[in-house]
A and B are shown apart, each in its own frame.
Chain A
Amino acid sequence: MKQKSIAIVGAAETTELGKIPDMSQIALHADAALNAMADAGLKPSDIDGVATAGESPTETAHYLGITPKWVDGTSVGGCSFMLHVRHAAAAINEGLCSTVLITHAESGRSRVGARRFARSPQSLQGQFELPYGVTNPPTMFTIPVLRYMKEQGVTEEQLANVAVVQREWAAMNPRASFRDPITVDDVLNSRMIAYPFRLLMCCLVTDGGGALILTNADRAKDMPQKPVYILGTGESVETPMISQMEDFTSSKAFRVSGTQAFTEAGITHNDVDHLMIYDAFAHLPFYGLEDLGFCKPGEAADFIWERNTAPGGKLPLNTNGGGLSYMHSGMYGMYALQESVRQLRGSAPAQVDGAKISVSHGVGGMFGASGTIIFSNEAP
């Protein structure tokens, strides 16, 4: 993709985050979309491309009164929105459409108008994983971690520390669900969910959503918000079955997606001012830091322990508090993208001074898929 040819010109989350029992899932999509349109100074009639996951793009477009000439319903889990950004950028560059709306919303906690998620007992997962109790994220996403900890010499304290550091970022964010400081002992003494994972190592379950609007960079200059340009993108998938992940200490999808994005962006890791790594559970930042190349294999736990990713550190990570403390409605990738955009607009609650390049890395379907977007706020 041509660097900086496309920009984010609208970005917003739902008006409320957390517990929103008086709104259905599709209404949350619309709330986020209308907020993003207001942010960009656009109306539904200005949108000619729609991408969404969780709901179908048909449903979202109809509900909002949009007649798109380009749609993308890629739904590979919580990183789907990174893939939408990548696909939308290509579509705009190809002239298939000019202004794309990407929405996410989920009534993850209140379950109002939420879609039911069911796997067929005839699917490979249904036959070869589900019968053993691999039925939800805490018993699936967590499976590789003991192998990772043994191979890399990582301790439970280091795993717990990921949640502690992210709570420090959340403390600076008035919209974060949890803001009170916690210690490693607090995490290790919280309720056991699926050994070695305690409650505070697992993401929140909340309601909410977010939306992005993309258009070409030339047009973006005349729009109300400071444009955030797309510098590089990547995507991949590996397997729907966690047991069939090739390497339990590293995600192949992360490596493929991250390498593509960095190559396309033409930057080195030292150029990155701000990083988001989708943290559904406390081990995800280890895999992300290593598979994206910020740390060598086995060094991420020490890197976080030494406060490199904490407030004041050299690589601010998950500065909204992350899925562990900010919010997690089910498909968190959208909120990682939102925080990258806020940081590069200079409007984040825990603003990284002078941030120019931000990397937003998502996971989907429990190490099944991945998407990476690298943003820049410097004009082409």
Chain B
Amino acid sequence: MAEFKRPLPEPTPETEHFWEGCRSGELRLQSCDECSKSYFPPRPFCPACGSRNVTVKTASGKATLYSYVINHRPRPDFGDEPHSIAVVELAEGPRMMTNIVDCPQTPEALVLDMPLEVTFEKASDTVSLPKFKPAGA
């Protein structure tokens, strides 16, 4: 059987600032200098107005649980236990995919709109993944 390689992100020049932030324990978003909207995923212009005048900033790390599934199919990289795959809504507005951790992986424990905060999981020497846990956990 072929060895399963965990799918880890490979940064591009346009996303490197985000992954560099994660390595140092910082969730980074970009916002537009013209229309002041925050956006995600990273790109060197504002998807709302097209302006190239954008600034990288540190996000609060606060979010709420927007939607999710609990995967029950075995995954070589995640193990055999059911695990959440979730979309969170950041306090700054954008949404992002993540996993909810430090919490039972059950519908009872994972309640939509519950407050969350970011936590970083070291996945390799160069990659730390932003994950979210119940606020104050």
- Which residues on A are within 8 Å of B, measured CB to CB? 120-122, 124, 126-135, 138-139, 142-147, 150, 191-197, 241-244, 248
Contacts and interface: CB of A to CB of B under 8 A. Distances in A.
A121 B97 contact: no
B97 A128 contact: yes
B41 A241 contact: yes
Contact of A147 (B41, B67, B82, B96): B67
B114 interface: no
B70 interface: yes
Nearest to B113: A150
A244 B95 contact: yes
A132 B85 CA distance: 6
A143 B41 contact: no
A132 B98 contact: yes
B9 A194 contact: no
Given A133-B85, A243-B87, A244-B41, A127 B71 contact: no
B15 A146 contact: no
Q: Output the residue of A124, A145, A146, A147 with the most chain B CB within 10 A.
A: A146
A132 B130 CA distance: 10
B7 A126 contact: yes
Interface in B84-116: 85-87, 95-99, 107, 112
B112 A129 contact: no
B52 interface: no
A332 B66 CA distance: 29
Given A133-B83, A146-B112, A122 B10 contact: yes
Interface of B: 6-12, 15, 19, 40-41, 66-73, 75, 77-78, 82-83, 85-87, 95-99, 107, 112, 123, 129
A122 B67 contact: no
A139 B67 contact: no
A30 to B, nearest CB: 31
Contacts, number: 111
Nearest to A122: B10
A127 to B, nearest CB: 4
Contact of A194 (B11, B12, B72, B97): B72
B9 A143 contact: no
A131 B129 CA distance: 8
A128 B9 contact: yes
Q: Output the residue of A124, A135, A243, A248 with the most chain B CB within 10 A.
A: A243
A145 B66 CA distance: 10
Given A121-B9, A122-B12, A131-B123, 19 more contacts: A121-B8, A122-B10, A126-B7, A128-B9, A128-B41, A131-B6, A131-B9, A132-B85, A132-B99, A133-B75, A133-B78, A133-B83, A138-B71, A143-B97, A146-B67, A147-B67, A194-B73, A243-B87, A244-B41
Nearest to A192: B72
Contacts of A244: 41, 95
B9 A126 contact: yes
Contact of B67 (A128, A134, A248): A248
Contacts of A138: 69, 71, 73
- Nearest first, the 9 closest Cβ-Cβ pairs linking A and B are A127-B9, A147-B67, A195-B70, A194-B69, A243-B97, A121-B10, A192-B72, A130-B7, A129-B97
Q: Output the residue of A120, A122, A126, A127 with the most chain B CB within 10 A.
A: A127
B7 A135 contact: yes
A122 B66 CA distance: 26
Given A126-B7, A127-B11, A146 B69 contact: yes
Contacts of A196: 69, 107
A193 B71 CA distance: 6
Nearest to B73: A193
A196 B12 CA distance: 35
A130 B67 CA distance: 17
A41 to B, nearest CB: 47
B97 A134 contact: yes
Contacts of B83: 133
Contacts of B112: 146-147, 150
